[in-house]
Structure 1
Amino acid sequence: MIHSVELDGQTIPITLKWNARAKRLILKLDPKGNGVIVTLPEGVSQRQGLRMVEKNRVWIANQLAKQPTPVPFQDGADLMFKGEMHRLNHLPDARGTVWCEEDQKTIFIAGKADFFERRLSDWLKKQAKETITPQAHTLAARIGKTPRRISVRDTVSRWGSCSAQGNLSFNWRLILAPPHILTYVVAHEVAHLRHMDHSPSFWATVEELGVNAREGRHWLKKNGTFLQRNGR
């Protein structure tokens, strides 16, 4: 069943998600701009989730008003890449696909305009995969662990995750962030290979991997929504 709430004349979609690991009801905006997400622990009813939305109508309206405007991939636009702003330059008659010239802080996208966004998105995902994979293996080896599988996806609510089977997954938009922020997220998920919780021992492992967890969390909290809006 599709749920929604009316706010200031707009219909805001509501997504209910049950999570066995959740300890309480969690309400947040969908980073992709598709309304509100309510995470419910097992055993909590749909009605309770919808009631939480009703109780937080003012908060939701305020948060929606703060959301940045979507940033589409288009010729002439600026895009953060590895923490620095780059200009997107479409070259319809050029051969090749996508490449970056750091001295010009420009990303060039060749080919027909119809394929501009897809080619750029595919290139960014490849850059993320090629950056994250070796880092994850190197950091995991430092704590005597080996990831089973590493994937890069267009995730909605997480920058990274680690499954009980040792599979690591990351949001490709991390390649837009400064390199040390990307490394923090990789270290965070690698640390879960040793501790599947957020206990003091887990955070000690994150620090052992040589990253500044507090800085990483602060940066993503401040800038994460902006990153998620790129390419929408």
Structure 2
Amino acid sequence: MGQHLLSGNPPVAVSLRHSPRARRISLRVSGLDGRVTLTVPRGVSEAEALTFATSKGDWLRAQLAGRPDCLRVAAGIALPIEGRLLRIGSGTGRGVRLTSDAIEVSGPEAQLPARLEGWLKARARDRLAAASDAYAAQLGRGYSRITLRDTRSRWGSCSSRSALSYSWRLIMAPPEVLDYVAAHEVAHLAEMNHSPAFWAVVARLLPDYETPRRWLRREGAALHRFRFSD
């Protein structure tokens, strides 16, 4: 996948993706991290595809203008953890400690983002495993494993081999949102589709699933604005 910069004010970074199955040139702006992808079908030159992207420059800038700016994680910024906005600060002793209004990270300041990210991933795994276990037991189905990733296109998935995968950034969302994603993916153990039967399973596992689902659609993209590494 190549990278190109479309001229204009401001310039727009575009990733080129060649696809033999695509039938036409297409542009996609990720709703999670704002990444712009230009899909180039077989038989279409990169120059032609870039000309198309350039013609859509005003549309691209309008899509990107409404997105929140990225924030580099560091002491002093506020970070959502389980739905609470906590100020990051330097701590004493070892590890990471939560207070009523802050998250304190010990160690050298240069290592703070990596240490905090590791702590968040461990906490996410614990919470997601507990939620998945509870819903799987309620459904009477088992899963093979849980994997955590920093996915941009989806918050969770369930494979045909009953393997569950989640975005670790769900630990930043309110607990009921994390529960919804776990219920959604566990429901796929019974229904590998998004049919009415599938949504009936989700409703059985989490009756008020529509409320956290709406939150994720409305607020979820903002969880990707926090950058833990360059």
Bucket of the pairwise TM-score, normalised by the shorter protein = 0.7 to 0.9
Match of 2:96 among 95, 98, 103: 98
Give the aligned CA root-mean-square deviation in angstroms.
Answer: 2.7
Instruction: Quote the Cα distance in structure 2 between the aligned partners of 1:71 and 1:188.
Output: 29
Look up the SS of the partner of 2:17 in the other structure.
strand
Mapping for residues 140-159 of structure 1, pairs under 5 Å: 140-159=136-155
Counterpart position of 2:32: 31
Deviation of 1:7 after TM superposition, in Å, equals 4.6
Residues 1:71 and 1:209: Cα distance change in structure 2 (over 3 Å): same
The one-letter code sitting in structure 1 at the alignment partner of 2:94 is G
Asked if structure 2 preserves the Cα contact closer than 8 Å seen for 1:183 and 1:211, the reply is no
* Equivalent in the alignment of 2:180: 184
Aligned to 1:14: 15
What residue in structure 1 maps to residue 160 of structure 2?
164
2:86 corresponding residue in structure 1? 86
Worse-superposed segment, 132-141 or 3-12? 3-12
Match of 2:196 in 1: 200
1:208 positional shift: 0.8
User: Any conservation in 2 of the 1:161–1:168 contact (CA below 8 Å)?
Assistant: yes
Q: Deviations over 1:62-102 (max 9, x none)?
A: 111111011221112111111111111113xx22111212x
Is structure 2 residue 171 aligned with structure 1 residue 175?
yes
Match of 2:58 in 1: 58
SS of match in other structure, 2:143: coil
CA distance in structure 1 between the partners assigned to 2:224 and 2:153 by the alignment: 9
> Using a 3 Å threshold, how does the CA distance of structure 1 residues 126 and 39 change in structure 2: closer, same or farther?
farther
The whole-number CA distance in structure 1 between the counterparts of 2:9 and 2:139 is 51
Query: What code does the residue aligned with 2:86 have?
Result: H
Distance 1:78 1:2, change over 3 A: same
Match of 2:124 in 1: 128
User: Which consecutive residues of structure 1, in runs of 5 or more, have no partner in the other structure?
Assistant: none
Check conservation: 1:81, 1:177, Cα contact below 8 A. yes
Letter in 1 for 2:126: E
Give the Cα–Cα distance (whole angstroms) in 1 for the partners of residues 82 and 162 of structure 2: 27
The farther-off stretch of 207-216 and 160-169 is 207-216
Identify if the C-alpha distance between structure 1 residues 57 and 116 changes in structure 2 by more than 3 Å, giving closer, same or farther: same
For residue 215 of structure 1, report the CA deviation from its aligned partner: 2.1
1:146 to 1:37, Cα distance in 2 relative to 1, 3 A: farther
Answer yes or no: is the 8 Å Cα contact 1:6–1:12 preserved in 2: no
Residue type of the alignment partner of 1:170: Y
1:97-134 deviation line (CA, Å, top 9, x unaligned)? 11212xx2211100111211100000011110010001
Q: Deviations over 1:7-35 (max 9, x none)?
A: 53414222538699xxxx782326334x3
Whole-Å separation in 2 of the counterparts to 1:211 and 1:37: 37
Tell whether the 8 Å contact from 2:27 to 2:53 is kept in structure 1 after alignment: no
Instruction: Tell me the distance in 2 between the aligned counterparts of 1:88 and 1:180.
Output: 23
Distance 2:219 2:39 in 1: 22
How far 1:182 sits from its partner (Å)?
0.8
